[in-house]
Structure 1
Amino acid sequence: MPTVGVDALTDGDFLLDVREDDEWQAGHAAGALHIPMSDFVARYGELTEAAPQDGKVNVICRSGGRSAQVTMYLAQQGIDAVNVDGGMQAWEASGRPVVDDKGQPGTVV
């Protein structure tokens, strides 16, 4: 399973958040694309429209379990995807900004 640490990500890297709506609304990385894992196959087209054609898709969830499953699925589809090690918990712990669905400071639940 290809993984990447939060510290290796830059502001320009594409981030796909696969947590559920309530988790997203409480706090997420600004600029991330949100497609919950429970809706992922049905909404896959949203990813193919938004993802960079020649870049990696960095997949994130709360701690890394759900994003690992989505990363494996994407790899099977031929997409260059990596799992963000430690998920949003590691993101928040590293001091990276977390915003709620109104753009205000958020929290990871």
Structure 2
Amino acid sequence: MECKKVIIVEGKSDKRKVQPIIREPVDIICTNGTISLTKMDELIDELYEKDVYVLVDADDAGEKLRKQFKREMPEADHLYIDRAYREVATAPEQHLAVILAGANIDIYTEFLEKRMNL
């Protein structure tokens, strides 16, 4: 089954942090922090007609990557972590669950329940 939703993250640690939270089939693509114009063009073709979400770190490198996606893929949805956490990989799972659920991505609700039990 082909995934209709794609989340773009910076690194493998971000992917490992986000993947267990998501219940529905979603492709998670790692840019490894940067992306060449050639790779961006390939992604644009590959992700045509898919729901694309950009979830990058709240730091200079993440913002640079986000700007590139805003310019090259203006239809993508941008998800933001709280600046206090700086990195997707270090953000609490509950925080990420709230962000993902807010973007209509089906998540395992126990991650939200953990937040309410704090």
TM-score by length of 1: 0.49
Indicate the structure with greater helix content. Answer: 2
TM-score by length of 2: 0.47
- Please say which structure displays the higher CA radius of gyration: 2
Q: Which has the higher contact order (CA 8 A, sep 6+)?
A: 1
